[in-house]
Chain A
Amino acid sequence: MDFFNAIILLLDSTIRLSVPLLFACLAGLYSERAGVFDIGLEGKMLAGAFAGAAAAAVYDSAWIGMLAAVSISIFFALVHGFASITHRGNQIVSGVAINFVAAGSTVILGQAWFRQGGRTPSLGTEERFNALNLPGAEALRDVPIIGQLYSELLSGHSLMVYLAFLMVPITWWALYRTRFGLRLRAVGENPGAVDTAGISVTWLRYRAVICCGALCGLAGTYLSVAQNAGFVKDMTAGKGFIALAALIFAKWRPVNAMLACLLFGFLDAAAIRLQGQPLPFIGKVPVQFMQALPYVLTVILLAGFIGKAIPPKAGGVPYVKER
């Protein structure tokens, strides 16, 4: 039973840790499926986390925090769109720029507004998204196995967690069952054909980029308003890039994206749990190795040793209308 409990705890933290990855990964999915590479997920998430925590603290409301996070993240997404869609700039360079602007401005503004060394004031329970108990969680708690699974693993997460996992079927439906989704996928594969059909490539790509911004904002909100109680400097710590790697690993598909994010979340959770504990056969593993493991694994995955990932054909290429 002890072992079972440990597994439940591990899976529980897997879910918590994979949520920001999932939001960011789906964000990247919209953008990259439309042919706009986005390396700035990290920056948008960070800006969102800061704006969310700052607004939640000032206006005493998690919802206003979320609104602020999504707005600022969409703003950065539009900057990315302006550079890479309207002005046909290099999409990777633009993403890198957004990462730096977000990393610098969150600290500078945080220090100027709150004077806590770049942190935002810590949020009270009223100002955060708190744990929700699913119906019947209390009643089932004492039932062996099922009780544990239901009330520990599935129940007791914040609204944002359920929203993240709800976004997976929504994204799937939007992408594969709506006209918008069909066109979005087409514009990432062959923008010329879309243009010939009389549909605006620019407007479609802008809409994709806006979806991306909104989801990055939610990822940021989760980090600073749900998982933690406030913003700290550089709190995304490379999650945007891990999400990007998960997206490639998932071959740009929503359900695969969820599985990839759960895998990376699990690795992260295992790394935290195994810190300083000796492993069977191997002995004590340095903490740093466990911390580097998700990145090492990403590289191995990207190397295509486990299946080949083929990106959307028009990804990274600005569309020039023939004249």
Chain B
Amino acid sequence: MSVPYSKLPGWAEYGLIPLINLVVAFVVAGLVVLLVGESPLEAAILLVKGAFGSGEGIGFTLYYATNFIFSGLAVAVAFHCGLFNIGGEGQAYIGGLGVAIVALSFDSYLPWWVIFPLAIIGSALTGALWALIPAWLQAKRGSHIVITTIMFNFIAASLMVYLLVDVFKPAGQMAPETRVFAEGAQLPRLDWLLEMFGFTIRYAPFNISFLLALVAGVLVWLLIWRTKLGYEIRTMGHSPSAARYAGINQTRTIIITMMISGGLAGMMALNPIMGAQFRMQLDFVTGAGFVGIAVALMGRSHPVGIIPAAILFGMLYQGGAEIAFEMPNISRDMIVIIQGLVILFAGALEHLFRPTVINIFSRLSRSPGPDAATSAEGGR
């Protein structure tokens, strides 16, 4: 690939440009709010108040963020290898299968601290297996991973409906969901964590899988930037032909990367199933797998970026529920729009403002001082 644009200083590359892109995405989202006849400013205030105004709000925000950290990391790991895993949604859904099997088998015999590691393994394993087939097809048969992972999302949805309705549903129950788990498969809440800061979480299902998500973030960082496998993954992502010349086994790298990605997506299922609902329900993923794409793009595929991006989307989810309460014209679907706009401006149009910014920088470096005022128009 040719290098189309010249370099920028690090803080502009990783701070300024993503920020400009994000601001533009939210400005366009604000226009949509305006279009349906509500005030964007009021909506923003409600959003922040709903997400961070109370201990319970913060608890919910971080609960949603937990999902998005997992799905964001999943997409990011695949991105580093040059693969676009759109199948996070399906992998997380199937990951729920691993969680449910472990929980339903052991919940009345074992304490949570034994079941939790087992469920982590179960969810990661099932999620990874769901990613294995598209990975194998990509590596061996050259079928495009984007299409196959999308197909696997639909197949996962059908499979889970079948399993929930015909296999997991206890006799005599109407709702297609598993029975409620006993105490052994219920993860402890992190009320103490927020109490340290003087908040009470009340009913928010903010639980220990949040800490697991943070640990996963550290592990992903170690994997990608501090191991041989990570180096191979990044080499593949930058240039598959260079990787081939370097003697990297491409099939192996693609399959392992996708299985790690699927495993991370699968682990997302721990949070809603064992941390909040204590049972597996239909459609428990609710789009969190797709949010991961926006989160990974916003966080530039780095855990340090992904965690704040996930919290931002957690805020949108929680605060969005609050807005829907006050403004009947705005529902949860608003978040889908914002998600799309973030993907558009932080992903596909990431170079939109780059020439302008580069211009300003080069002008600044040529004649420092008087021209600085023009940089104020940098936004557009």
Contact = CB atoms under 8 A, between A and B. Distances in A.
A111 B337 contact: no
A99 B2 contact: no
B151 A298 contact: yes
Given A105-B337, A245-B147, A96 B343 contact: yes
Given A107-B333, A288-B158, A320-B4, A88 B341 contact: no
Nearest to B158: A292
Interface string B28-61: 0000100111000000000000000000000000
Given A89-B350, A97-B340, A320-B2, 13 more contacts: A89-B349, A96-B343, A99-B340, A104-B333, A104-B335, A104-B338, A107-B336, A108-B329, A109-B36, A286-B162, A286-B166, A302-B144, A302-B148
A291 B137 CA distance: 22
A289 B158 contact: yes
A108 B143 contact: no
B185 interface: no
A94 interface: yes
A296 interface: yes
Contacts of A104: 333-340
13 contacts: A39-B146, A87-B351, A93-B343, A96-B293, A97-B347, A97-B348, A100-B337, A104-B334, A241-B147, A286-B166, A288-B158, A299-B137, A302-B148
B219 interface: no
B155 interface: yes
Q: For chain B, which range describes its interface: under 10, 10 to 19, 20 to 34, or 35 or more residues?
A: 35 or more
B141 interface: yes
Contacts of A288: 158-159, 161-162, 165
Closest 9 CB pairs of A and B: A100-B340, A104-B336, A94-B348, A104-B337, A101-B340, A97-B344, A89-B348, A292-B158, A112-B36
Contact of B341 (A39, A92, A97, A107): A97
Interface of B: 2, 4, 32, 35-37, 84, 86, 133, 137, 141-144, 146-148, 150-152, 154-155, 158-159, 161-162, 165-166, 290, 293, 297, 329-331, 333-341, 343-344, 347-352
Interface string A99-121: 11111110111011000001000
Contacts of B155: 292, 295-296, 299
Given A83-B349, A89-B351, A286-B162, A98 B340 contact: yes
Contacts of A286: 162, 166
Contacts of A107: 331, 333, 336
A101 B337 contact: yes
Contacts of B148: 299, 302
A295 B84 contact: no
Nearest to B164: A288
A296 B146 CA distance: 15
Contacts of B165: 288
A244 B151 CA distance: 11
A248 interface: yes
A303 interface: yes
B151 A92 contact: no
Contacts of B146: 39, 92
A52 B110 CA distance: 57
Residue in B32, B133, B166 with the greatest tally of chain A CB atoms within 10 Å: B32
A87 B4 CA distance: 10
A304 interface: yes
A90 interface: yes
Nearest to A240: B150
Nearest to B143: A302
Given A104-B336, A299-B148, A83 B166 contact: no
Nearest to B351: A87
Contacts of B37: 112
A251 B161 CA distance: 33
Contacts of A238: 150, 154
A224 interface: no
Contacts of A109: 35-36
A84 interface: yes
Contacts of B341: 97, 101
Contacts of B159: 288, 292
Contact of B150 (A90, A98, A241, A291): A241
Given A96-B86, A97-B343, A245-B147, A108 B32 contact: yes
A320 B2 CA distance: 8
Contact of B4 (A39, A82, A88): A88
Contacts of A83: 344, 348-349
A34 B165 CA distance: 45
A108 B147 contact: no
